[in-house]
Amino acid sequence: MEIRNIAIIAHVDHGKTTLTDAILKQTGASPEGTTMDSNKIEQERGITIYSKNAAVEYKGTKINIVDTPGHADFGSEVERVLRSIDSVLLIVDAQEGPMPQTRFVLKKSLELGLKPIVVLNKIDKPAADPARAEEQVLELFFELGASDEQANFPVVYAIGRDGVAGRTLNDMPSNGGASMDLSPLLDVILEHVAPASSPELLSKPAKLQAFNLGYDNFLGRLAITRVYEGTIKSNDNVFEKKPDGTTRSGKITKLFTFKGLERVETDKAEAGDIVLIAGLPEIYIGETVSTDENVEPLPAIAIDEPTITVNFLVNNSPFAGKEGKYVTSRQLREYLERELQVNVGLKVDFESPESFKVSGRGELHIAVLLENMRRAGYEMQVSQPQVIIHEEEGKKLEPFEEVIIDTPSEFQGAIIEKLGVRAFVLQNLTQQDNSVRLTFEGPTRGLLGYKNIFVVDTKGEGILSSRFTAFKPYAGEIKKRQVGSMISMTSGKSLGYALWYLQERGVLYINPATEVYEGMVVGNTSKGEEMMVNPTKAKNQSNVRSSGMDEAINLFPPILLTIERGLELMQEDEYLEITPESVRLRKQFLTEQDRAKAKRN
């Protein structure tokens, strides 16, 4: 059976997973209601975080499909997948056009010499303009240095949610066309993606490269690999080769191929297929596996560097150990070591015995790691995220990002003003009806803690997306408008009466009847100074009547802390305490006396 290997790439929320689910359903590879986004956090957030494999059969051909994340923080998942496939479906929203992550994933694809197939999705949106979107995609191809062959890409129009595609707009049912399913898209894949194997490749010794890792409680470490040459069989003795040529020997105990979303055990796999192998406990991403000891290792899979860093510490708050199952530094270390095996965008420095320096691609990348840890029963506290500064030839370099914002035009003044203070420069402004698209460039430092302000400034109607561009010269000091912290001076249970008075001074982070401790941050102060407060203060009981005695307590809803919100709101001298059931902000030094002593030192 012929094999075609494709990856689906796009900006976040442009419809990759919906389109993949529709392909699986129409080819009978998966039942109604199943989805590629199988992870709990993915389903809650509505985004793809981990790349996943599926396979469908169409007209006697097996099509291996890899669904990739659309968020810039998970770009490392995309980078390694692109090495294992032969073409990509570039999904572009017909209304929004190319967005920051579209540029990132397309650039990586073109550099590897892949010839993309462009799918203009969501053409049923009221403001969709497929002609404009296609023109913008072509401009982006030329801007990224595409060859003439790459720029001569086929275009398919689709409505992923309805499972309909057409080669022209006139083929679509909304325009009276006859297309009723995704067959036109699958036909284009068969026409434009070269077969993954040939008799010449099959005649060579087996040669595979791992591009993703997994873990099974019974089989141990698993590697998802692309078979480049030859035939690999279960129980074959193989050699694992690192890109530097170092060799280890091993034996493949199990071999699985994909059918729909399921993995199916098989005895052998041929050149061109994507398979899951077990039995190699030390295999790592980018390593070459072969039955021939003298085979040349395949080039290493290059991954972009992390941009922000956070310190992970053992939770030492007064509430430590009450909710978590794993609370020691040894247990944190073991989890992070396991995570490093599958999360290639992550780096961890284990040198210090007190804290682990974790570097990632962005706040969301770190937040998802923390969310997974708390759900697994871990307790920890983390420091404020800091950008990674590089030094080259005596110059300080820091990560810069391109930010694209779509917002109603009445909010553009506030956005330009706030980002201007944070060292961002407006590069482009385009008006369309009542909305405006703003393009900025500036340091990642300026973006840390801004997203919360952005939501307030645009009343929830703005869309902000960003991507890392490069390390550029240090942009100097950034003065952000800081709010102060409202710090509890006592331990106990917070009372509505106390919070009623405190809400006039700023925004609260807790509800009544929340357990607090001395040094815990219970809210922020709008004037910017730190304020010691007593959230446990009760109303004094008295026999004397007064006019204000029976006044009703009206509490505003607090801003309840999540991991992401906490990472944005925290100050430099604070920790974010994360347990399986709670997220709390606290001062690094809990008592006022200790904080004063630390300031003097």
User: What is the residue-wise DSSP string for 226-289?
Assistant: EEEESEEETT-EEEEE-TT--EEEEE--EEEEEEBTEEEE-SEEETT-EEEEES-TT--TT-EE
The domain limits of the chain are: 2-192, 200-290, 390-473, 484-541+551-600
CA 313 to chain centre: 23
Nearest to 189 by CA among 90, 107, 84, 67: 90
DSSP assignments along 152-183, one per residue: S--EEEEETTTTEEESSGGGSGGGT----SSH
What is the chain's Cα-based Rg?
27
Place of tokens 């949610």: 161
As a dihedral over the C-alpha atoms of residue 173, residue 178, residue 183, residue 184, rounded to 10 degrees, the angle is -90
Which residue type sits at 524?
A: N
Task: List pLDDT tens digits, range 469-515.
Answer: 888 998 888 876 677 899 999 999 999 889 998 988 889 999 999 99
Does residue 423 sit in helix, strand or coil? coil
Domain covering 390-473: architecture = 2-Layer Sandwich (3.30)
Nearest to 401 by CA among 449, 440, 365: 440
Q: Which two tokens stand for residue 534?
A: 């007593």
Residue 481 has a pLDDT of 61
Q: By the 8 A CB rule, do 427 and 439 touch?
A: yes
Q: By the 8 A CB rule, do 29 and 261 touch?
A: yes
Could you tell me the CA-to-CA distances from 336 to 288, 296, 313, 349 in Å, in that order?
Answer: 25, 32, 12, 10
Q: Which two tokens stand for residue 286?
A: 């980018």
DSSP assignments along 327-394, one per residue: -SHHHHHHHHHHHHHH-TT-EEE---SSEEEEEESSHHHHHHHHHHHHHTTB-EEE---EEPPEEETT
The DSSP code for 36 is S
DSSP assignments along 88-153, one per residue: EEEEEETTT-S-HHHHHHHHHHHHTT---EEEEE-TTSTT--HHHHHHHHHHHHHHTT--HHHHS-
The DSSP code for 450 is T
**Cα–Cα distance between 510 and 558 in angstroms, integer?**
6
Count Cβ neighbours within 10 Å for each residue of 362-394 and write b for 16 or more, e otherwise: bbbbbbbbbbbbbeeebbbbbbbbbbbeeeeee
Domain covering 200-290: architecture = Beta Barrel (2.40)
The DSSP code for 411 is G
Residue 453 region, left (φ>0) first, then alpha (ψ -120 to 50), else beta? Answer: alpha
Beta bridge partners of 436: 407, 431
Count Cβ neighbours within 10 Å for each residue of 575-600 and write b for 16 or more, e otherwise: bbbbbbebbbbbbbebeeeebeeeee
As a dihedral over the C-alpha atoms of residue 450, residue 405, residue 16, residue 271, rounded to 10 degrees, the angle is -80
Q: Which two tokens stand for residue 498?
A: 């106390």
Q: By the 8 A CB rule, do 229 and 289 touch?
A: no
Provide block-wise average pLDDT over 10 residues at a time, the chain (601 residues): 88 85 84 69 75 86 86 75 88 89 84 91 90 92 89 91 88 78 91 87 88 81 89 90 85 89 87 90 87 86 82 93 91 90 84 89 89 93 91 88 89 91 91 86 88 85 84 84 85 91 90 93 87 89 65 84 89 92 92 87 78
Chain mean pLDDT for the chain: 87
Task: List pLDDT tens digits, range 557-569.
Answer: 998 999 988 988 8
Place of tokens 């960003």: 466
Which residue type sits at 380?
A: M
Identical fold for domains 390-473 and 484-541+551-600, yes or no, is no
Nearest to 160 by CA among 295, 285, 13: 13
Nearest to 488 by CA among 533, 538, 536: 533
Question: pTM score, two decimals?
Answer: 0.83
Q: By the 8 A CB rule, do 560 and 584 touch?
A: no
The verdict on domain 484-541+551-600 having CATH code 2.60.40.1840 is no
Residue 532 has a pLDDT of 93
Class of domain 2-192: alpha beta
Residue 188 has a pLDDT of 92
**Cα–Cα distance between 227 and 410 in angstroms, integer?**
54
Could you tell me the CA-to-CA distances from 196 to 85, 163, 417, 505, 531 in Å, in that order?
Answer: 9, 26, 52, 65, 65
Task: List pLDDT tens digits, range 206-240.
Answer: 999 988 888 777 888 888 899 998 899 988 899 98
